[in-house]
C-alpha cells in the first residue's frame, strides 16, 4: 500500500449529485482504510452560501446515506469531516478565484482540482485558476461528458490544454478503475495460458455488455440531451474494447498502456451509412415492468421531450482491422431499463475443429471466458468435462474466481482507486486526449446517420433485454447474447 501523501483536494461542484454519490463517499472509504491519511485537506467549493460547519451538516444529511454500513464508523466519520473546509464561490467569475488562492495558502501537499460540474464550466474554472496562478504543478480531474461530439470535445480540450499540460490532466472513466478490468490485464499479460490464445485463430467472437435496470431516474432533462451513444458507447464501451484488444505494451507505464489502447481505436473499422443501418441497433424503452413493478416508458419520464428520439439502448457489431483481430466480430451493448444490472465481457473461443467426442464437443459457447465487472466482480472459465457414468457424455462446467471469496483484503471501489491514483500521480487508468478524440471520430458517422436518416429508435419494453433487432444482429453471425443461450 502506498504511504499517504500530503494533499489538497479541491472539489468544485461540491453540492452536486456526483459529489454526494461518488466523490465524497470514495474519499471517505480511502480515509477509513488508511490510504488517504490525515496529512491533507479537502476544500469543497460551490455556490451555496455555507460555511464549513454548514457543509458538514449538509454532508451528514446527503453523503452519509451513500456510505456502506460496513465502513461507517462514527469517530472515523467525524475525523474525515474535520478534513473538509468549504468556500462559496461563483465559478464563472475569474476575478473571484483570488479568494480561493488565499484559502489554499493555508494548505500544503499535492494540489488536485476535481471538476464535478457540467462541462460548460470547465473552461471558466481553468481560466479562473490560471488568473489566480493556481495551475502550476497542480492536477485537474475532468468528468464526462467531455462534449457532445468531436468538435465540442476538441474545444473543451483546447480550453483546458491552454492552461494545463497533458501530464496534469486526468480524464476520468470509472470503469477503468474496476478491479476486474485490472485483472483482465493480469489475466492476459501475467499468464502463459491465455495470451497465446488471445487472437483470431482461437477466438470466435467477443461480447461487451453494460446493462442497467434503472431508467432516467429524475435526470431526464440531462439524459435527453445525451443518450446512450454519448453516455456509454463513446467512453465506457470503447475503453473496455481497447483494453480487451490491445497489444502487450512494452511496460505498464502510463503512456505505454495508453499508446496501445489508441492503436486499437485507430484500427476500428469505420462505419459507412449502409453499415450503420445494418450493424447498429438503436432503441428506446417503453412502459413495462422492472422486477415485477410497473415502470413508465422513456417518453413519460420527467424532463423528457414528448417526441424525443434519444436512444436509451445501443447494440452494435464492430471489427478491428489488424492481424490479431481480423475477422473477429465484437458485439457491444448498453441500455437502460434492461432485465438485469450487469457489466461483463464474454470471450467465445472457437469450437474444436473435429467433433471427436460427439456433437457437443464442437458446440459453440462450450469454451468461454466470462469476466464479470458488476454487480459481483468475477472471472469464470467454461469448458467441457465428462459426466460420471457410462459412455462419453459431456457437460459444460466452469472454473470460478470470485474476488470477494478468494481475496479477503478490503477491495477498493473504482472511484476510490482513481482518486488515489490522481493524488499519487498515476495516469495509466485515465483517458488521454488523443484516445478520447479518436473515439469521437469513430462514433461521428453513427451520430450523423441518426440525425439524417429519419428512422426513430426501435421500441422495447422496460424489463427486457432490448429490441429484438439486437438479437437478430448476433443471429446473422450464428451466435447469440449470453443470457439467450442460458
- Annotation-wise, does 212 bind a ligand? yes
68-76, long-range: CB within 8 Å, 24+ apart, which pairs?
68/29, 71/28, 71/29, 71/32, 73/32, 76/31, 76/32
**Distance from chain centroid for Cα 385:** 36
Contact between residue 204 and residue 328 where contact means Cβ atoms under 8 Å apart:
yes
Is 336 annotated in a binding site? The answer is: yes
Q: How far is CA 80 from the centre of its chain?
A: 27
What burial letters (b/e) apply to 25-41, b meaning 16+ CB within 10 Å? bbbbbbbbeebbbeebb
Strand partners, 366: none
Select from 314, 372, 373 the least CA-distant residue to 338: 314
What gap in Å lies between CA 47 and CA 63, rounded to an integer? 18
- Judged by DSSP in three states, 247 sits in coil
Q: Which helix (H) or strand (E) holds 402?
A: strand 394-402
Question: Cell numbers at residue 121, please?
Answer: 464550466
CB 470 within 8 A of CB 313: yes
CB 456 within 8 A of CB 467: no
| For helices 24-32 and 414-424, angle between their N-to-C axes, nearest 10 degrees | 80
d(C-alpha 21, C-alpha 60), whole Å? 13
Q: Is residue 408 annotated as a catalytic residue, yes or no?
A: no
90 appears as a binding residue in the annotation: yes
Cell of 460: 422495447
Question: Active site residue: 131, 236, 424, 477, which one?
Answer: 236
47 assigned binding-site residue? yes
Q: Is 231 annotated as a binding-site member?
A: yes
As a whole number of angstroms, the distance between CA 92 and CA 123 comes to 9
Cα–Cα distance, 217 to 221 (Å, whole number): 10
Residue numbers in the known binding site are 47, 90-91, 144, 174, 178, 212, 231, 336
Active-site positions?
236
Binding residues for substrate: 174, 178, 212, 231, 336
Annotated binding site for NADP(+): 47, 90-91, 144
Amino acid at each position: 500500500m502506498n504511504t499517504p501523501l500530503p494533499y489538497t483536494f479541491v472539489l468544485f461542484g461540491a453540492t452536486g449529485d456526483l459529489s454526494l454519490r461518488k466523490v465524497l463517499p470514495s474519499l471517505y472509504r480511502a480515509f477509513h482504510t488508511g490510504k488517504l491519511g490525515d496529512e491533507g485537506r479537502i476544500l469543497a467549493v460551490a455556490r451555496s452560501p455555507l460555511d464549513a460547519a454548514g457543509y458538514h451538516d449538509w454532508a451528514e444529511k446527503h453523503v452519509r446515506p451513500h456510505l456502506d454500513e460496513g465502513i461507517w464508523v462514527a469517530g472515523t466519520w467525524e475525523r474525515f469531516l474535520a478534513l473538509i473546509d468549504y468556500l462559496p464561490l461563483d465559478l464563472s467569475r475569474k476575478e473571484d478565484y483570488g479568494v480561493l488562492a488565499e484559502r489554499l495558502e493555508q494548505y500544503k501537499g499535492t494540489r488536485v482540482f476535481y471538476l464535478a460540474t457540467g462541462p460548460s464550466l470547465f473552461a471558466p474554472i481553468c481560466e479562473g485558476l490560471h488568473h489566480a496562478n493556481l495551475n502550476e504543478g497542480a492536477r485537474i480531474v475532468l468528468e464526462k461528458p467531455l462534449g457532445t461530439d468531436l468538435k465540442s470535445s476538441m474545444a473543451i480540450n483546447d480550453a483546458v490544454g491552454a492552461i494545463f499540460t497533458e501530464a496534469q490532466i486526468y480524464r476520468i472513466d470509472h470503469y477503468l478503475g474496476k478491479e476486474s478490468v485490472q485483472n483482465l490485464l493480469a489475466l492476459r499479460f501475467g499468464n502463459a495460458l491465455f495470451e497465446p490464445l488471445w487472437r483470431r485463430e482461437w477466438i470466435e467472437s467477443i461480447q461487451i455488455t453494460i446493462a442497467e435496470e434503472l431508467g432516467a431516474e429524475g435526470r431526464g432533462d440531462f439524459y435527453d440531451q445525451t443518450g446512450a451513444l454519448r453516455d456509454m458507447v463513446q467512453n465506457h464501451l470503447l475503453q473496455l474494447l481497447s483494453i480487451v484488444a490491445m497489444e502487450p505494451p512494452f511496460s505498464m507505464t502510463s503512456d505505454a498502456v495508453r499508446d496501445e489502447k489508441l492503436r486499437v481505436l485507430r484500427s476500428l473499422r469505420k462505419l459507412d451509412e449502409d453499415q450503420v443501418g445494418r450493424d447498429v441497433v438503436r432503441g428506446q424503452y417503453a412502459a413495462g415492468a422492472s422486477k415485477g413493478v410497473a415502470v413508465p416508458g422513456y417518453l413519460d419520464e420527467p424532463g423528457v421531450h414528448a417526441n424525443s428520439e434519444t436512444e436509451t439502448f445501443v447494440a452494435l457489431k464492430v471489427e478491428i482491422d489488424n492481424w490479431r483481430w481480423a475477422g473477429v466480430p465484437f458485439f457491444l451493448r448498453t441500455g437502460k431499463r434492461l432485465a438485469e444490472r450487469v457489466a461483463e465481457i464474454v470471450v467465445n473461443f472457437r469450437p474444436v475443429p473435429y467433433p471427436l467426442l460427439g456433437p457437443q464437443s464442437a458446440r459453440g459457447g462450450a469454451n468461454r471466458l466470462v469476466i464479470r465487472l458488476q454487480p459481483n466482480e468475477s472471472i469464470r472459465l467454461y469448458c467441457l468435462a465428462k459426466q460420471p457414468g457410462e459412455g462419453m457424455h459431456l457437460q459444460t462446467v466452469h472454473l470460478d474466481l470470485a474476488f470477494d471469496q478468494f481475496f479477503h483484503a478490503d477491495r477498493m471501489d473504482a472511484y476510490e482507486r482513481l482518486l488515489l491514483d490522481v493524488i499519487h500521480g498515476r495516469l495509466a487508468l485515465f483517458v488521454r486526449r488523443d484516445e478520447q478524440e479518436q473515439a469521437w471520430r469513430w462514433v461521428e458517422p453513427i451520430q450523423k446517420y441518426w440525425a439524417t436518416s429519419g428512422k426513430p429508435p426501435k421500441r422495447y419494453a422496460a424489463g427486457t433485454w432490448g429490441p429484438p433487432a439486437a438479437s437478430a444482429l448476433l443471429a446473422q453471425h450464428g451466435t447469440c447474447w449470453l443470457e439467450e443461450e442460458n
